[in-house]
Amino acid sequence: MDAFMQNTFVEAAANFSVAVLSLILFLAIFETITPYKNWEEIKNGNIAVALATGGKLFGVANILRFSIEHNDSVLTMVTWGAYGFFLLVFSYLMFEFLTPMFKVDKEIAADNRAVGLISFIISTGLSFVIGAGILS
């Protein structure tokens, strides 16, 4: 069984499967945090919601990528992914807190693409910072 699990194709499939399941779980959590329905808004063409959600997807996937590169355990990858997701959500809440002149969630729900783009950039940019902190 060890030889089977050390096959690079099996390892890649395991990492991929766990990453996809993690992304689904984290997006479900993000859906409960936001006051709007992400997928309904995206279906209706809300670009700002698509940018904010895409930023979270990209951010978590990027953190998982760093974790896969620097660790050899699927459990470690999931742990870093969860920790990174927590930090990305925290940064999203800080974005809301640090912009008292408007409500980020309200602006994104109203399809304010400038706010959606900034949210995307915050998530993707910080995912590189979080990923850089992942140690072997």
When divided into structural domains, the chain yields a total of 1
Tell me what the mean pLDDT of segment 19-41 comes to: 91
Q: How confident is the model at residue 5 (pLDDT cuts 50, 70, 90)?
A: low
In the structure, what pLDDT confidence band is assigned to residue 83 with cuts at 50, 70 and 90? confident
Rounded distance between C-alpha atoms, residue 60 and residue 79, angstroms: 12
Average pLDDT over residues 55-68: 91
Q: Which domain holds residue 122?
A: 2-132
Query: pLDDT tens, 63-73?
Result: 999 988 887 68
Largest CA distance in the chain: 58
In the predicted model, what is the mean pLDDT of residues 113-123?
96
At 37 the pLDDT is 92
Q: Is the model's pLDDT at 96 over the cut of 90?
A: no
* Cα dihedral value 130, 135, 21, 90, nearest 10: -30
pTM of the model: 0.85
b/e for 109-124, b at 16 or more Cβ within 10 A?
Answer: bebbbebbebbbebbb
Q: Which residues contact 57 (CB under 8 A, 6 or more apart)?
A: 23, 27
Q: What is the pLDDT of residue 118?
A: 95
Give Rg (Cα) of the chain. 16
pLDDT, position 126: 94
Q: Which residue has the higher pLDDT, 8 or 127?
A: 127
